[in-house]
Amino acid sequence: MKLMIASDIHGSAHYCRKLVELFHKEQPDRLLLLGDILYHGPRNDLPREYNPKEVIPLLNGIKDSIMCIRGNCDTEVDQMVLEFPILTETCLLYWNGRMIYASHGHHANPEHPPFLRAGDILLNGHTHVPKWEKMGDNWYLNPGSVAIPKEKSHHSYVILRDNEVIFKTMGGEIYRSERFSSTSNS
């Protein structure tokens, strides 16, 4: 399975168009959005081409391929206009014999981790900073932000396939790639 993972669009029509273009180019089995779809939130500057009304049809156009986690900026009102579920707080996935616990990151995160077995992966958005690092006996993965990257990081997303984690810029360039064994203790 090939999974495209992105987070924190924050209503940017510009970066959402790029994300949808990359989705068609990458041809993943699914696109997992880790929340903060339509609104920028009070702590963020407006992203480039802030236009939630334009983001809505872009994402609804690929609704059958989207899985989504609720972010701290997502509300019931957003669900009224988006044609795919966005209000789920967590998602459990299985990849290479590991459980992936996906959430936005404002509740379950490296400082407040959920229960994980050794080798499992915590997947978050929220911080707008890409990460792939050891977290005790586990791994922490964050694709960064599509629209509002922080700490001088790239506008980015992640591809998860076979035994590889691939970080890419919104231009589609690979800037980090890690191979991962299928055993739960590596």
| Tens digit of each residue's pLDDT (9 = 90 or more) over 36-80 | 999 988 888 899 999 999 999 999 999 999 999 999 999 999 999
Over residues 117-127, the mean pLDDT reads 97
Q: Which of 155, 157, 154, 159 is nearest to 178 (CA)?
A: 159
Domain formed by 2-179, architecture: 4-Layer Sandwich (3.60)
Q: How confident is the model at residue 182 (pLDDT cuts 50, 70, 90)?
A: low
Q: What is the mean pLDDT of the chain?
A: 95
CA distance linking residue 132 with residue 41, whole number of Å: 25
Over residues 9-29, the mean pLDDT reads 98
Rounded to two decimals, the pTM is: 0.95
Say what the pLDDT of residue 181 is: 75
Residue 165 pLDDT more than 90? yes
Domain edges within the chain: 2-179
Q: Quick one: residue 107, left, alpha or beta (phi over 0 = left, psi -120 to 50 = alpha)?
A: alpha
| Tens digit of each residue's pLDDT (9 = 90 or more) over 83-100 | 999 999 999 999 988 999
Say what the pLDDT of residue 180 is: 82
Residue 146 pLDDT more than 50? yes
